[in-house]
């Protein structure tokens, strides 16, 4: 039975610390780019910030970890890549990028509405000797190709090897934990098999507080978000969605409306 | 036979056409794609046997448990340890890049004397000479370790002082020293039993204490809940990360935390919302309202909210006597859910920034924050693994880097119980490095070396028969077979946790309301103290807009 | 005075007069410098990587793609004129045919050259041919543009072989003659290929589900932008040819084609432009009222960013669409050279604006609700590379004009305003 690996990220728990970003970069041999900016950086996991648009005491903010949404339907990047350097893995639902085949035309980057793809504008380079600290399970890339989150596929590979060594056909999901899920200090990122109705993440994805970003575009992303706050859930839509007001109790002291 | 130009043209055209049906051009095309994947300058990971080892992160005194994945003897990845009683599986963002620090371009590899290269022999000679000529002060940034014990012994023998840079979280407990006689480093916050926490700007969810301690607690008891078991009230000038996740955010004007604490205390005392009786703050409610920007009603509401669910405790950023006094008013001093005494230690540390007497030399351990500069004209011998730049030290001495030396991990600041752990070294340090403790051991061989101190500490723990050893399972020390077994477990990653602090045994006497804090509160997240950041930290600062690059406190 | 002056008169078509070699070289000099600068900038990009440009993860496509789409649209005059002359037998456009081929060759070879540096791994160019993705518009574009460039080369070669000296080689003469017989076939093939790649260039953006600003419904697998791009290309291609010929006439000081050709080109351009404006208006209305709202994007939110407000729609469709369409077809203005050329400029500007809106504005406009509207300014390397392409075009055309019979024997004084 094929799996559909996905995530549910509890935005009420994300504190915007950035541990997931660091763990992802470390696991996936992403080079440090001190010369980059927020527009040219290489961050397969990126935590962004959104607000309810108000200022002063009524302002509310939320941190939103963004990575490849592993779109299931009419996956934009898969459809547009001229040399099929990206495909949806039938067995897992993971959208797999092959940097070795990538031409670097960046069409997939224009196609992705979540801006989850990153280009190697520079040659990946580490200070002298630091290559010894690279994760041997992940191939390093080269300049001029696109890369993105691949759901820590190297860890899936390790889990498969472990299962195979024990003579099992299915992996134990406890052995396959992506780096960001492992790193989160509040447990905000939950990972699981969305195709399994008994999976905890799968159940959370079906709860009424769960939503997906830009769901109406229809790409069926497999990364869900959830929040008790209505204004956060309104972020599922583009700016046309209305943002509920925060009730002001008095100047300088506002109360949050939950629900 | 004459070859005409035309013949040449015809032959060339024929050759070109013929070449297309040979494998040559196609093989060349195929090769180009292989070349473009395998240029010699593309870095390749090490190949070699992979194993998981456990240690403790030593970048800061919190001592988070750390699992390190090693390949061919080098660390290639880190993760938290879920069974660790302090960090509970979490690491801070910088911890995830710590394993690459040892190759940071600013790694100190040779002894430097006033900007030029030098040698250990020269440094030793100079230091030995300084010791003979006058008192030497020793400054430690991570007190309580076995190495600290060596540093302190040396300082005592040489009539210098032993001074300590305490973490900001511990410094916030300094006011209680005066009121109770118990040193700040013996106190902790019993957050696990608190029901309401009022944080005056302390970034509880963003870099305060061990990252996992409060974030896990908060995630379990408060995150996303309409009626949380743990109410976090964050007093902050702007919407910080902690404020945006808190149950309630109280926006105040800059540097008005003290005034708010005083205002709240006044309300609590005037309306008799607490059992404690004692001196009233000098600030009136109206003045507090004026300073904070809140209305008097808002301050009253806040006071009532704080005591609605008790135990309640207040946490400040840096040394703020009025916030500490608020805790006394709340009855949070020396009670569960508030400030507790976790160790019997009686002597307070001398802070490193206290006025320094005239000394001949100062020795600064590698654990001291980079921006700390001793106010002295003495010859400064500074140990560091990385050169953070603009150092005023006369001697820069290369120390072991991340997980390159055996260390022990004393009780983490702010914890409610004592802890002890060992951080084994996982990689060999480069030949030229030496820690301050080793250096002093070389100068004075009578000092007990670090590994022997650790050994005897394990022995003491065993013989005290108190506390629990938490590894894969929790085992009371009373049930452990030998001191040897205890030490082995600690080497493998277990953590000794002392008994929870018992209430009583000490008390705070507040004879008069303290004066307000001098100077603005410290900003824990906007400044940083390490000499360098892990290379991957560019993801947080330069390559995204998640965080602003922090400023050095003293440039 | 010894007549040791360097001369290349034996290369110049018999019966034609051209300026002296030294003046010609003087004319070429600044363009050569520009070309060298462009080559240097391109070299920097190839050697150091694309960090030499100001493109970034949010503006993954920048000046180069915009200008590529622009010059391919303007170069559509090549295939369309061929189509009109050989398939529809409109012989009155013959005088402009050679120019059309050379302009087409310049536009397409220039575009392919820029694409070579616009990709991160140019050595892997052949992957698209070896692992083609049948769902991707870009695969289609790559195939068709490469094939069409080949067609243009094949159409250019007969013109090249008509050079006075090259004609002397009998095998070349025979070759040229044989090729000439092929030309109608090439014109047909060229039309087919161009239809598809002009369309696919529009399809590149119309299929982007993730960019509701560009996303369009359409017919079967082709979004409406597929057809709109073809229409706008064939509408403005002739205008561009008109402008190129008029410029050459101005520079050389000669009347090279009958005025009637201009009027013809203008009329064709104007009529097609009118159809395009109608189609575009309908498409825009559908997009504003149906397509965009259906994916959750209210159209007003695209236009709240200065200076990219709704006036851009008005400029593109009315000022640079309807107005030139009118001027090019209305008898009174179409008779006057000045109006014709101004209208042609407006039409070409219109197609460039359309390409700009679809390539650059699409990327600037936010998709996620917490995105911002982004700015992008090309770096000097990007501008210089494109300057190099323009210089390349001027040089190729100048050489073609000097040494090849581009036009029927020219009348008019040799006033030698500047250069050739």
- The total number of structural domains in chain C stands at 1
Interface predicted TM-score of the whole assembly (ipTM), two decimals = 0.92
Strands (E), A78-218: 86-88, 95-97, 118-119, 146-147, 189-193, 210-211
Q: Is residue C297 part of a domain?
A: yes
Q: Supply the pLDDT for residue B528.
A: 62
Chains interfacing with B (3 or more CB pairs < 8 Å): A, C
Residue A87: partners with Cβ closer than 8 Å, 6 or more residues away: A78, A95, A96
pLDDT at C49 over 80: yes
Mean pLDDT, range B154-163, rounded to an integer: 88
Q: Is C217 on the interface with A (CB under 8 A)?
A: no
Task: Give the pLDDT score at C300.
Answer: 85
Residue C15 in any domain: the answer is no
The pLDDT of residue B526 is 55
Would residue C26 count as lying in a domain?
A: yes
- A117 neighbourhood in chain C, CB within 8 Å: 57
Whether chain A has a CB inside 8 Å of the CB on B445: the answer is no
Contact A37 C56 (CB under 8 A): yes
Distance from CA of C42 to the nearest CA of B (A): 19
- At A71 the three-state DSSP class reads coil
- In whole angstroms, what separates CA C396 from the centre of its chain? 15
The alpha carbon of residue A15 is apart from the nearest alpha carbon of chain B, in Å, by: 6
Check if A138 contacts B (Cβ < 8 Å).
yes
For residues C347 and C343, give the distance between their C-alpha atoms in angstroms, rounded to a whole number.
6
Distance from C-alpha of C233 to C-alpha of C249, rounded to nearest angstrom: 24
pLDDT score, position C301:
87
Q: Do the beta carbons of residue B430 and residue B436 sit within 8 Å?
A: no
What sign does the CA torsion over C52, C58, C61, C62 have?
negative
Segment C28-50 shows an average pLDDT of 97
Question: What pLDDT sits at residue B418?
Answer: 95
Percentage of chain B with pLDDT > 70? 97
State the pTM of this model: 0.92
Of B72, B104, B547, the CB nearest to A127: B104
Q: What is the pLDDT of residues B342-376, one digit of tens each?
A: 988 878 899 988 888 889 999 999 999 998 888 88
Task: Report yes or no on C30 lying in a domain.
Answer: yes
Residue of B39, B40, B41, B45 to mutate, testing the A interface (most A Cβ within 10 Å of its Cβ): B45
**pLDDT band at residue C266 under the 50/70/90 scheme:** very high
Most A CBs within 10 Å, among B543, B546, B547, to test the A interface: B543
What are the boundaries of each domain within chain A? 5-258
Q: Which residues of B touch A174 (CB under 8 A)?
A: none
Residue numbers in C near A212 (CB within 8 A): none
Of B6, B9, B36, which has the smallest distance from its Cβ to C121's Cβ?
Answer: B36
B512-551 residue pLDDT tens = 999 887 777 666 655 567 889 999 999 999 999 999 887 7
* Residue C13 maps to a domain: no
- Phi/psi-derived region of residue B505, left when phi > 0, alpha when psi is between -120 and 50, beta in every other case: left
Cβ-based interface (< 8 Å): residues of C facing B = 121, 123-124, 126-127, 169, 171
CB contacts, 8 Å: C292 with chain A: none
Q: What is the mean predicted confidence (pLDDT) over C134-141?
A: 94
Measured between alpha carbons, how far is C144 from C199 in angstroms, rounded to an integer? 11
Query: Which chain A residues are Cβ-neighbours of C362 within 8 angstroms?
Result: 110
pLDDT of C5 reads: 64
| Separation between Cα atoms, residue A254 and residue A251, nearest integer Å | 7
pLDDT at B555 over 90: no
Q: What is the pLDDT of residue B554?
A: 43
Q: How many cross-chain Cβ pairs, A to C, lie less than 8 Å apart?
A: 180
| Strand intervals (E) in B45-156 | 50-56, 65-71, 74-80, 112-113, 116-117, 136-140
Whether residues C138 and A109 touch (CB distance < 8 A) is answered with no
Residues of chain C in contact with residue A40, where contact means CB-CB under 8 angstroms, are: 51, 56-57
Which residue does chain B place closest to C171, by CA atoms? B6
- At the topology level, CATH places domain A5-258 in Alpha-Beta Plaits (3.30.70)
Write out the residue range of the structural domain in which residue C358 sits. 20-403
A167 touches chain B (CB under 8 A): no
Contacts within 8 Å (CB) and 24+ apart, B299-302: B299/B260, B299/B263, B299/B264, B299/B267, B300/B267, B300/B271, B301/A253, B302/A253, B302/B233, B302/B250, B302/B260, B302/B264
Residue C12 has pLDDT above 80, yes or no: yes
What is the mean pLDDT of the segment spanning C50-79? 95
Is there a contact between A84 and C119 if contact means CB atoms under 8 Å apart? no
Rounded to the nearest 10°, the torsion over CA A92, A95, A98, A101 is 120
- pLDDT per residue as tens digits for the range C285-326: 999 999 999 988 988 889 988 888 899 999 999 999 999 999
Q: Cβ separation of A57 and B205 shorter than 8 Å? A: no
Q: What is the mean pLDDT of residues B282-311?
A: 96
Res B367: pLDDT:
94
B45 at A interface, C-beta within 8 A:
yes
A119 to chain B, any CB pair closer than 8 A? The answer is: no
Interface A-B, measured as beta-carbon pairs within 8 A, has a size of: 231
Query: Is B217 or C333 the better-scoring residue by pLDDT?
Result: B217
Q: Does A196 touch chain B (CB under 8 A)?
A: no
Q: How far is B453 from chain A (nearest CA, A)?
A: 32
Cα B136 to Cα C133: distance, rounded to the nearest angstrom: 74
* Minimum distance, in Å, between the CA of residue A194 and any CA atom of chain B: 23
Partners of chain C (3+ Cβ pairs below 8 A): A, B
pLDDT score at A247: 35
Is the minimum CB–CB distance between C362 and chain A shorter than 8 Å?
A: yes
B302 CB neighbours in chain A (<8 A) are 253
Give residue-wise pLDDT tens across range B393-446: 999 999 999 999 999 999 999 999 999 999 999 999 998 999 999 999 999 999
Structural domain includes residue C124: yes
Residue among C123, C127, C171 minimizing CB distance to B35: C123
Residue C250 counted as domain residue: yes
- The confidence score (pLDDT) of residue A1 equals 64
Residue C409: its pLDDT value, please?
65
Q: In the prediction, which pLDDT does A174 show?
A: 94
Residues of C whose CB is below 8 A from A144: 49-50, 119-121
pLDDT at A258: 32
| Confidence band of A237 (pLDDT split at 50, 70, 90) | confident
Residues 6+ apart with CB under 8 A from B91: A19, A183, A185, B57, B64, B66, B78, B79, B80, B211, B212
Strand partners of residue B551: B527
């Amino acid at each position: 039975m094929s799996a559909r690996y996905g995530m549910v990220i509890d935005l009420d728990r994300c504190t915007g610390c950035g541990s997931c970003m660091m763990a992802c970069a470390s696991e996936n041999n992403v080079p440090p780019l001190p010369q980059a900016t927020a527009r040219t950086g290489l961050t397969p996991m990126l935590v962004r910030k959104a607000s309810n648009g108000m200022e002063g005491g009524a302002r509310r903010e939320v941190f939103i970890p963004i990575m490849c949404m592993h779109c299931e339907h009419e996956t934009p990047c898969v459809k547009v890549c001229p040399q099929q350097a990206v495909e949806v893995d039938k067995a897992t639902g993971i959208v797999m990028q092959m940097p070795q085949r990538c031409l670097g035309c960046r069409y997939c980057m224009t196609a992705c509405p979540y801006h989850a793809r990153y280009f190697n504008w520079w040659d990946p380079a580490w200070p002298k000797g630091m290559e010894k600290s690279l994760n041997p399970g992940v191939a390093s890339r080269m300049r001029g190709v696109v890369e993105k989150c691949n759901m820590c596929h190297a860890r899936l590979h390790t889990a498969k090897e472990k299962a195979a060594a024990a003579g099992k056909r299915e992996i134990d999901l406890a052995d396959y934990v992506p780096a960001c899920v492992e790193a989160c200090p509040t447990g905000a990122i939950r990972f699981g098999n969305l195709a399994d109705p008994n999976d905890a993440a799968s159940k959370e994805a079906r709860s009424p507080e769960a939503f997906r970003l830009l769901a109406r575009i229809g790409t069926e992303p497999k990364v869900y978000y959830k929040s008790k706050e209505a204004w956060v859930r309104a972020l599922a839509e583009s700016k046309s969605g209305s943002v509920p007001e925060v009730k002001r109790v008095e100047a300088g002291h506002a109360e949050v409306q939950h629900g | 036979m004459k070859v005409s130009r035309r013949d040449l043209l015809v032959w060339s055209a024929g050759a070109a056409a013929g070449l297309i049906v040979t494998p040559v051009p196609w093989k060349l095309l195929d090769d180009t794609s292989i070349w473009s994947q395998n240029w010699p300058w593309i870095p390749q990971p090490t190949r070699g046997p992979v194993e998981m080892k456990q240690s403790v992160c030593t970048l800061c005194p919190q001592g988070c448990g750390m699992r390190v994945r090693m390949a061919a003897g080098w660390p290639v990845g880190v993760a938290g340890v879920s069974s660790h009683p302090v960090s509970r599986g979490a690491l801070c963002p910088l911890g995830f890049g710590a394993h690459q620090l040892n190759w940071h371009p600013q790694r100190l590899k040779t002894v430097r004397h006033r900007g030029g290269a030098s040698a250990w022999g020269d440094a030793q000679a100079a230091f030995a000479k300084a010791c003979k000529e006058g008192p030497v002060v020793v400054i430690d940034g991570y007190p309580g370790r076995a190495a600290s014990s060596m540093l302190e012994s040396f300082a005592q023998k040489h009539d210098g002082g032993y001074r300590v840079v305490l973490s900001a979280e511990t410094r916030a407990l300094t006011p209680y020293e005066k009121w109770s006689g118990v040193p700040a480093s013996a106190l902790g916050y019993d957050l696990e039993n608190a029901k309401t926490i009022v944080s005056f700007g302390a970034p509880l969810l963003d870099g305060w204490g061990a990252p996992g301690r409060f974030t896990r607690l908060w995630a379990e008891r408060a995150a996303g809940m309409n009626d949380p078991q743990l109410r976090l009230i964050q007093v902050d000038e702007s919407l910080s990360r902690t404020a945006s996740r808190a149950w309630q955010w109280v926006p105040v004007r800059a540097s008005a935390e003290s005034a708010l604490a005083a205002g709240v205390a006044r309300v609590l005392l005037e309306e008799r919302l607490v059992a404690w009786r004692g001196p009233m703050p000098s600030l009136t409610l109206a003045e507090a309202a004026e300073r904070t920007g809140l209305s008097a009603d808002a301050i009253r509401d806040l006071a009532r909210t704080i005591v609605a669910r008790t135990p309640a405790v207040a946490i400040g950023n840096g040394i703020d006597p009025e916030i500490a006094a608020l805790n006394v008013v709340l009855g949070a001093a020396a009670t569960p859910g508030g400030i507790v005494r976790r160790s019997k230690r009686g002597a307070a540390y001398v802070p490193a920034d206290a006025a320094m007497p005239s000394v001949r030399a100062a020795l600064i351990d590698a654990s001291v924050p980079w921006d700390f500069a001793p106010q002295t004209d003495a010859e400064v011998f500074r140990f560091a693994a990385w050169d953070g730049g603009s150092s005023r030290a006369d001697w820069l001495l290369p120390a072991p880097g991340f997980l390159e030396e055996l260390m022990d991990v004393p009780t983490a600041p702010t914890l409610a119980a004592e802890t002890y752990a060992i951080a084994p070294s996982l990689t060999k340090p480069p030949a030229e490095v030496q820690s301050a403790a080793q250096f002093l051991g070389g100068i004075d061989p009578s000092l007990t070396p670090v590994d022997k101190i650790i050994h005897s500490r394990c022995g003491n723990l065993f013989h005290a028969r108190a506390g629990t050893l938490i590894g894969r399972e929790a085992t009371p020390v009373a049930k452990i077979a030998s001191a040897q077994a205890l030490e082995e477990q600690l080497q493998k990653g277990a953590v000794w946790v002392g008994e929870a602090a018992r209430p009583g045994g000490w008390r705070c006497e507040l004879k008069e309301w303290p004066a307000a804090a001098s100077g603005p509160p410290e900003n824990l997240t906007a400044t940083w103290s390490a000499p360098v950041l892990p290379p991957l930290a560019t993801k947080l600062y330069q390559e995204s807009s998640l965080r602003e690059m922090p400023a050095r406190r003293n440039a | 005075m010894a007549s040791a002056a360097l001369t290349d008169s034996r290369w110049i078509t018999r019966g034609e007069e051209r300026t002296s070699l030294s003046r010609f070289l003087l004319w070429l000099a600044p363009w050569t410098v520009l070309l060298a600068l462009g080559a240097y900038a391109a070299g920097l990009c190839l050697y150091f990587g694309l960090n030499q440009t100001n493109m970034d993860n949010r503006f993954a496509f920048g000046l180069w793609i915009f200008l590529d789409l622009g010059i391919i649209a303007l170069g559509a005059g090549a295939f369309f004129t061929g189509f009109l002359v050989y398939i529809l037998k409109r012989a009155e456009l013959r005088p402009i045919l050679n120019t059309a081929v050379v302009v087409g060759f310049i536009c397409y070879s220039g575009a392919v050259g820029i694409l070579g540096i616009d990709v991160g791994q140019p050595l892997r160019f052949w992957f698209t041919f070896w692992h083609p993705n049948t769902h991707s518009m870009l695969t289609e574009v790559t195939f068709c543009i490469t094939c069409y460039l080949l067609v243009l080369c094949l159409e250019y070669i007969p013109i090249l072989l008509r050079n006075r000296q090259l004609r002397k080689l009998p095998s070349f003469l025979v070759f040229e003659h044989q090729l000439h017989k092929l030309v109608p076939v090439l014109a047909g093939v060229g039309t087919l290929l161009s239809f598809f790649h002009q369309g696919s260039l529009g399809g590149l953006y119309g299929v982007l589900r993730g960019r509701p600003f560009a996303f369009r419904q359409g017919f079967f697998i082709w979004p409406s932008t597929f057809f709109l791009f073809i229409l706008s290309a064939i509408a403005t291609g002739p205008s561009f040819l008109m402008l190129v010929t008029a410029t050459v006439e101005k520079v050389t000081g000669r009347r090279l084609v009958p005025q009637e050709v201009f009027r013809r080109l203008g009329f064709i351009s104007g009529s097609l432009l009118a159809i395009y404006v109608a189609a575009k208006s309908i498409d825009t209305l559908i997009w504003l009222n149906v397509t965009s709202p259906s994916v959750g994007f209210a159209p007003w939110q695209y236009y709240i960013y200065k200076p990219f407000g709704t006036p851009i729609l008005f400029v593109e469709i009315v000022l640079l669409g309807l107005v030139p369409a009118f001027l090019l077809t209305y008898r009174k203005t179409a008779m006057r050279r000045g109006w014709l050329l101004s209208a042609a400029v407006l039409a070409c500007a219109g197609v460039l604006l359309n390409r700009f809106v679809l390539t650059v504005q699409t990327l600037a406009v936010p998709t996620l609700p917490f995105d911002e509207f982004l700015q992008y300014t090309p770096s000097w390397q990007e501008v210089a590379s494109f300057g190099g392409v323009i210089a390349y075009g001027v040089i190729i055309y100048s050489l073609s004009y000097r040494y090849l019979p581009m036009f029927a024997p020219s009348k008019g004084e040799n006033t030698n305003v500047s250069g050739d």
